[in-house]
Every structure is written in C-alpha cells, then in structure tokens.
A and B are shown apart, each in its own frame.
Chain A
Amino acid sequence: MSHYTSVTEEDRREMLAAIGLSSMEELFACIPEGVRLRRELDLPAGMAEQEVYEHLAALAARNRDADAEVTFMGAGMYDHYVPAIVDAVILRSEFLTPYTPYQPEVSQGTLQVMFEFQTAISELTGLPVSNASVYEGPSAVAAAGYMAKLETGRRKFVTSRGVHPHSRAALETHAAGFGSQVVETALDDHGATDAEALAAAIDDDTAAVFIQQPNFLGTVEELGAVAEAAKRTGALFVVAADPLTLGILEPPASFGADICVGEGQSLGNRLDFGGPSFGFFAASDKYIRRMPGRIAGETVDVDGRRGFVLTLQTREQHIRREKATHNICTAQALNALAGTVYLSWLGKQGIVELGKLMLQRTHYAREALGLEKINPGPVVREFAVRVPDLDGVMERAREAGVNPGYRLGRDYPELSDGLLVAITERRTKEQIDRLASLVHAEVAA
C-alpha cells in the first residue's frame, strides 16, 4: 500500500463496479501485451518515512556543505545569508502547492508576487519589462540569444570570454539547434573584456553581443564602450548581471542594454548544489511581445477591483505552439518568490549597505592575500589571483576546514594557477585573515 493514497480495498471494489469492470487488470486491457511489463520494477522495496529520512540524512552527511567549512567558493552561486522570513513564506502551502496561475480568481497571491518580482527586477536592471522568471542564469543567456535571433534574423552571437563558462556553453548548445554561431573574444591582460577585440568581432550578421557584470573573474566591466560597438550594427546588447551587486552598480539599462538576464540565486535562494534557483529576464519596452515565459499584468475585475493576470500569453507555447517566442512552460515561481521576499527584507537601503559591505571586505581580502592579481581593476564580491603551488594551498586549506575558492584552470587553461575567491557578507575579517595565513604559510614553505 502506497503511503500517499486513500483508496481502500472496499473503495476499489465499489469504484470498479461503478466503472463496470471486475478487476484492476481490465483497466489496462488497452495496452498491447507486447509492451506490458510483466514483472515488478527492479527497485528497492518501499520504506517507512523515518527510514527514508535516515537514508537521506546519511547521504547528506557525506557532503561537505557551507556550514561544515569556511567557503570562499563562488563562480556563479554564492554563500549569502538567507533570512528566516524567506522560509516562513515559501513553506506556506498556499505558495508551495498550487501550479501556474491559470485561474486568476484563485491565484491572486501568486500573480501579485509575480508583479512585485517584475517590479523589483525592473528596478535593479533599469529595464522597464521583466518576466516572472526563467530556469536559471546560463539558460537565460541562451534565451536572450534566441530572442535576439527572432528579433534580428541574424545568425551570429559575439560573447566576451568574461561571461560565465556555463553561460557560454549553454548559449552554444542552444544555438546549435536554431543554427547560430557563437564567437568568443578574449579578455585583456587585466581580466576585463577587451572592448576593441569585441567590437572587431561584431558585424552585420551579429544578432547579439553578450557581456557579464561583474564578469566571471569578478571584474566590474565598463559597459559603455561595448554598448556602442553593439549598437552600431544593430545587434542587441545583452548584459548578464548579478542582481545583488546591482544594488551599488549602475544598472545595465543606463549603458544601453537591450536585455538584462541573470542568475537569481544570490537573492534569497540557497545553494542546493546548483539548483533550483531562478533566472530573470528583463528587456526594453519594444521587446515586450518577444519575451519568453510568463508575465503578470495588472487589470481589474468585473467589480472594478484591482487584480493581476498572466498577460500577453499569445507569445507563449500553449497558444502559439510552433510560433511561440520560447518553449518554456514551468519556470521557477517559488524561487522567484524567495527572491521577492528577500529583496523586500533587504529593502531600498539594505541592498546598498550589503553591497558596500561586500565591496569593503572584498577589497580588504584581495589586499590581505597579497598575491598577484589577475584582475587588478575594480571588483565587488569576487576576484582572481595567481597562487604559487595552488595544489598545495588547496590541500592544506581543505584540511584546515577552509575552501579557498574556485580553480580557474578548467575553464581558463591559461590561468591554471588561478584562484577565484568570493567574499559574501558572511565572510568575516577573521575568516579572511585565516585564509590569508593559510596561503602565506604555503607560499613561504
């Protein structure tokens, strides 16, 4: 008997009788014998709730999570503090267990949250239109590419090598489907996008130009120079941004971004070994009918009362089918809710204060480490350094319960001794000093 059903033997008899059948087997008579599975699935037997809990708890204990070490790991997801109010809200059944708000009269909670989410993303990015979420960061970059392709009919994407390697990979994978090519341009020797190289790669067949703010190495990019080059040929200018650092960084729209996308994990979502989090997708007004995904809009009911609905649905797959602007259906509504609650909690002043704190500590950490800087320019939360005997430092630090950061070698072979260090508001001066002493001890040894 499964744990989560109500049907008893007696119910079953009554229900079969009402259907006009005499056995459960007859329910499946329409399935040809050749494709019937005439054995039990080869899976372990079911377990009691407490046994499942113990099993999962034992597995969880084999992971070294961010409570079990001091982590300076970032590279796309960050160890930010998630306030208790986020859990209090997202664990409410009324938010947790409904689906997409197809019936707006009984979904005003979800729909208004979408509207408030869109408002916050619009404020952070400076772009007037945001959707209600996409899957996550890198596939959001790919979605921006698809929109640019539909908009311009052009077949080429130019991306800075400072864009997250997973985003570039996802863009390339998706582009292979709809027949576009991706051209990557190098970073300069300060770990920033080489604006000239990027400009040189942009031509009349370029649908979109991609840059990330801050870039994968943590560098705060100069968006203005790149925007100009993109605009000259009519390509769309796409900025992949971290939404939390936009509290203190000038919004991409100020530099002429047509689309701003990004990974939303830093806004009140947990690490979860990479997901679920949410992606966001914002754009200029003129692209509102080209956007992917759900959008909530304001309206009134028959009594003139304010309400919200899913709007501009004629863009979407369930209406437009093969002519849809994207195939996305289920997105990340609950994670976007977590982001909305987080931004409400952080508030107008808090997001600036938090940004400044990260900025100060990041600056302090970079100086305290005293290593050769890969990106000596401005950074907000993350920076890259060269570490002599990186293997040794990593081992020693891990033994001491410190995770020094992300090794850049896999994604940037030319930086095989590179370490990417993330400093969130959770990393204290004391922890930073500890990392510095571990690094120095090893370098000296």
Chain B
Amino acid sequence: MNAPVESGAGTRSDPRAGAIGASAGLNPREGEETLTLLQKSRRGRRAFVAPATDVPEVPIEELLPASAIRKEPAELPEASEPEIMRHFKTLSTKNFDLDTGFYPLGSCTMKHNPKLHERVAALAGHARLHPMQEPRYAQGALEVMWNLQVALAEISGLPHVSLQPSAGSHGELTGLLVTRAYHDARGEKRHKVLTPDTAHGTNPATVTMAGYEVVKIGTAEDGGVDLDALRAAANEDVACLMLTNPNTLGLFDRNIEEITKIVHDVGGTLYYDGANLNAVMGISRPGDMGFDIVHFNLHKTFTQPHGGGGPGAGPIAVSDRIEPFLPVPQVVRRDASQNGRELEFDLEYDRPQSIGKMRGFQGNFGVFVRSYAYICSLGAEGLKEVSETAVLNANYLKARLAEVDDLLPIAYDRTCMHEFVLSGRGAREQLGIKTLDIAKRLLDWGVHPPTVYFPLLVEEALMIEPTETEPKERLDYFADAVKAILEEAASDPEIARNAPYTTPVRRLDEAAAAKRPVVRQPRER
C-alpha cells in the first residue's frame, strides 16, 4: 500500500504511486487549450472525397423547389482526417473507463465487456443486415433473437419475451402500458402504481408517462418493503407494484412472497425492475416470486459496452395473462412443416390485443447479438457463478469497509446481494467531509467513485457495486483507498474538499452551467 504523496492543505496531492491506481493514466491538465473541432476548423480543409458523379447532372434548381434548397450551409467542422483522428483520440484520453480500472457504480453493473462481442456484432451478416429485410432472408438474425428470448424466459421464470424496448426505462414504460392494456381488456379502471421509496428515479417517471399516479411505499427496519404500508395502500385502484429485488439497498426482500400475494389479491400486476438481476441468475427467478412482468437491462446483467451512456436494451418477459398485449412484431418459431410454411422463424404482426409499437423495427439487434454471445459463453453454470461471485465480491468489500464503520456506517447492515450502501453521515459529522468529497478524492486514487446520493432515504449515500469482474486485489485497493482518504481527512479535510487534483479538469461549476446554459459551440461571426 503506497500512501499518497505528502501534501499541505489545499495543495495537489498525487496518490497515483499506488500500483493499481497508477493505471488511471488520464491526460494531465497541461497542454493545449480545450477547443472543439469546429473551433479548430480552417476553410477548405476536408476528409471526405465524394464518389464520382456517374449520372447526367441536372441543375439542383430543376430538382428541388427554391424554398426547399438550403440557403446557408450547416456549420460543420472543416478538418483533415489526421486532425479529426487526433481530436477524438485526445478526447478519449480524458475519460476514465472500465478497461482502465475499477468502476463500482452502484446499480449500473459495470462488468467486463468481452472483446469477442464486438467481433461477432460486426460480422456483415449482423451489422449490414437491413431491418426491413424479409424474414426468409434474415433467419439467422431471427434465430439469435429467438434463442435470446428463450434464455431470458428461463432466467426470469416468465415464458414470453419482447426484445423491443430500447433501455431499462423503455422496458418499464412498455411494462406499464401492457398493464394498462391488460386492465382495460378486463374493463377495469385503475389509477395508481405503487413504488417503494428506494426505487430508481425511472420508476416514478415511468408511472407518470404511463398516465398513472405514484403512491410511495415506505421501507421497513430491515430494508425491505414496509408490509403494513403496502397493505394499507393496496386496493382496487392499484394497477401495479413496481419493485426492484434485490432492492437498491442491495437487499433481497425476505417478504417477497407476501408482497406479491398482497398485490395479486387486489388484482394488480407485479412489475420487477431487473436492474439488479445480476445478483440472482440461476438462484432465484422473478416469475417464481410472483411477478408478471420483468425488464432486463441487457447493458448491465448481460454485458454491453456502456458507451458513455448507451446503447442498451430493455427486453421484458411476461406471464401468460400479459402475453396478448406485448408489442409487435413478435419473433415466433413455426414448425417448418406446418401449413406448408417454409419459414422457421418469422415476425408476427397479427396480434389484435397488442399495445402496438414502442419504437422502430425490431429493437437494438446489435445489443442482442452481444448478450446472446455472453449467454452462449457462460451457459447455465457460468451465469450462476457470475451471480455468486458478484455477491461474494460485494459482501467481501462490505466486510473490508466495515473497518471504517464509525465514519461510513452500512445502511441496513445484513448480508447483501450484489451491492450495498454506505452512509457518509459519520464522515460529514466527524471529519467535515461530504460523500461528494470522498467521491472526488477517489478519482485521484484511480478508481471511479460509487453511485452517490442514491438511494434517497440514506443520508450521504455511497452505493457500491463491485460486480463479478473484480479480483480481490482491486477490492482491497478500493477499501484501502477509502480508509486512507478518511485518515487523511482526519488530519486535513481540505484535501478531500478540494479534490480531485490529478484529473484533466478539476471540480466544475455546475451551477453556472445550469444558470446560463451554453449547450452548443457558438458560431464565430
């Protein structure tokens, strides 16, 4: 364990001597001024060379009405290919990324992205396949989708899958829209959706978009749903309960069977937010818990490169009673001999009770290819081992951080699943540093900070999800870094308050950005 370099209050302290932290390797702040490519442009420079015009040219004025022809060109960059490449390559060096180091961003499941996946997704048969290609010429793609559906159904314990939603939140919305269609079909008008106070922000936002009213349910002493509050809120007005289990505190709700029964008894549906599915693959299934609808974050549990904020995909799996309402088209497999049809896989549009389409085409197919490759690689045994290792890693790191329990107490301390939450209240009161300061100081240690200030019911929260990716040494390094930051703050809290010191920029003025928003490069006139 290498200690941070000696430093006085408020001065730079570069702790990157640490063996693993040293790999952060971000471009230091020395060097050129920060300019956009547009600012670096010079008139007449270019990278693109147009293919030769091989057809007789007709004056543009004869082909388009004057009012439709662009009068002033769009101010796009003018730069040569080498300068474009340098620009984006240099920008890339200002990012911290998962291939560089530890990224324990709670609830985001930052697991390794196998390099094979980029290779198979880039095969021309996948990458160059047109979405409107007829099913008979897209049998391989439909088989990938079908096989993925089958696997997701088995993992969730719910038999019917739609791959269409584009991300978790889109899956949530799809889930509530099929819930609405289900109740409508039964002639029921229900207005309310129950969400625990530990829910991800997407849950209540989705409820509003789906035209329902949010009813918040409190959290019990043990970190689970408050059963009395749930019973009091459950009535014929309730369309659905949206639940994350394990929840955002990283805890498996021990009363899950009772919870699903309470909601079913009043005729509501049960929605499972699959953000935390990485904890329970092959161990426990939402369908067996009594859920009707579950969304998967393929970019979390089934490893997509997170891309700086997408793409992802948010397929849903549903029970029999919800199935008629799934979006169109559905991938189906037909018996090759049935009715003389020769297609094995097809896209089915004729679904009269369907809610319709959530987006264009069939969904984020390139994402499906990667997640399917992952499931093929791991198989049943490997997926279970992923969950076991994720839970082991989280509990080990929690045990290591219990060494600073007085300053960062564990919220609802019991065996956690794939993640856990610490409260920074002790550090704030005793050392005078906030969770934000700890997070920013961690950047100097070459690790990405956890999710901070969520879930909302934990004061100064740090939500830590190490995933199965991390070896023990990196967990130890993180625990040591947290301890060192707290020790450092005990002697001089200013160091953390002014961190980070070693990043391409230091703390940014977010208030100024919001007060007078500058959201594009102004034209230079």
Contact = CB atoms under 8 A, between A and B. Distances in A.
Nearest to B357: A169
A302 to B, nearest CB: 5
A252 B26 CA distance: 41
Given A65-B124, A101-B308, A326-B209, 12 more contacts: A47-B379, A63-B137, A65-B126, A68-B125, A73-B133, A95-B307, A98-B96, A113-B308, A307-B34, A323-B208, A333-B307, A348-B78
A60 B140 contact: yes
B38 A97 contact: no
B204 interface: yes
B19 interface: no
Nearest to B446: A106
Given A2-B468, A173-B327, A327 B395 contact: no
B308 A100 contact: yes
The 5 closest A-B pairs by CB, nearest first: A60-B125, A334-B307, A274-B361, A46-B379, A274-B131
A17 to B, nearest CB: 10
B377 A330 contact: no
A63 B126 contact: yes
B513 A311 contact: yes
A59 B46 CA distance: 39
A191 B112 CA distance: 50
A49 B126 CA distance: 18
B231 interface: no
Contacts of A1: 382, 385
B1 interface: no
B95 A63 contact: no
B341 interface: no
A66 B505 contact: no
Given A98-B308, A275-B367, A294-B309, A177 B359 contact: no
A108 to B, nearest CB: 4
Nearest to B467: A5
Nearest to B114: A4
B376 to A, nearest CB: 5
B443 A103 contact: yes
29 contacts: A4-B111, A5-B468, A19-B396, A24-B392, A26-B415, A30-B414, A31-B280, A35-B289, A37-B157, A40-B380, A43-B380, A46-B379, A57-B125, A99-B306, A108-B94, A108-B504, A139-B170, A250-B69, A250-B71, A275-B362, A307-B508, A327-B173, A327-B206, A344-B47, A344-B87, A347-B48, A348-B73, A354-B48, A403-B130
A412 to B, nearest CB: 14
A170 B359 contact: yes
A106 B46 contact: no
Contacts of B208: 178, 322-324, 327
B243 interface: no
B58 interface: yes
Contacts of A354: 48, 50
Interface in A25-59: 26-32, 34-37, 40-47, 49, 52-53, 55-59
A324 B120 CA distance: 38
A124 interface: yes
B93 interface: yes
B232 interface: no
- Of the candidates B307, B385, B392, B395, the one having the most CB atoms from chain A within 10 angstroms of its own CB is B307
B160 interface: no
A410 B58 CA distance: 34
Contact of B207 (A113, A250, A322): A322
Nearest to A69: B137
Interface stretch (B60-68, B316-324, B481-489): B60-68
B56 A364 contact: yes
A353 B91 contact: no
A378 B65 contact: yes
A349 to B, nearest CB: 6
A91 interface: yes
B97 interface: yes
Contact of A122 (B37, B180, B520): B520
Interface in A200-251: 220, 222, 224, 246-251
A403 B443 CA distance: 53
Contacts of B157: 37
A35 B287 CA distance: 9
B124 A60 contact: yes
A116 B131 contact: no
Contacts of B46: 347, 349-350
Nearest to A66: B128
A435 interface: no
A334 B370 CA distance: 15
Contact of B154 (A42, A83, A137): A42
B127 interface: yes
B361 A166 contact: yes
A271 interface: yes
Chain A interface size, as a band, is: 35 or more
Contacts of A335: 307, 310-311
A332 B79 CA distance: 25
A286 interface: no
B351 interface: no
- Of the candidates A1, A102, A298, the one having the most CB atoms from chain B within 10 angstroms of its own CB is A298
A330 B131 contact: no
A28 B151 CA distance: 23
Contact of A62 (B140, B177, B209): B140
Given A30-B414, A77-B361, A327-B209, A65 B51 contact: no
B510 interface: yes
Given A18-B400, A64-B133, A324 B201 contact: yes
Contacts of B429: none
A167 B360 contact: yes
B126 to A, nearest CB: 5
A265 to B, nearest CB: 9
A45 B385 CA distance: 13
A9 B129 CA distance: 44
B406 interface: no
Contact of A273 (B99, B130, B173): B130
Interface stretch (A355-363, A384-392, A436-444): A355-363
Given A273-B126, A322-B214, A300 B512 contact: yes
B235 interface: no
A311 B103 contact: no
Nearest to B125: A60
Contact of A130 (B132, B398, B519): B519
A53 B209 CA distance: 41
Contacts of A42: 154, 380
Contact of B202 (A79, A274, A311, A329): A329
B57 interface: yes
A174 B204 CA distance: 16
Interface string B414-447: 1100000000000000000000000110010000
A332 B380 CA distance: 30
Contacts of B58: 360, 363
A36 B386 CA distance: 17
A178 B210 contact: yes
A166 B363 CA distance: 12
- Of the candidates B33, B74, B384, B385, the one having the most CB atoms from chain A within 10 angstroms of its own CB is B74
A370 interface: no
A15 B289 CA distance: 30
Given A52-B376, A357-B51, A345 B140 contact: no
Given A272-B129, A321-B204, A331-B309, A176 B355 contact: yes
- Of the candidates A132, A173, A296, the one having the most CB atoms from chain B within 10 angstroms of its own CB is A173
Interface in A337-385: 337, 341, 343-354, 356-357, 359-361, 363-364, 378, 380
A15 B392 contact: yes
B324 to A, nearest CB: 15
Given A30-B251, A173-B357, A356-B60, A61 B125 contact: yes
Given A27-B415, A30-B252, A297 B396 contact: no
- Of the candidates B166, B283, B362, B381, the one having the most CB atoms from chain A within 10 angstroms of its own CB is B166
A35 B379 contact: no
B380 A330 contact: no
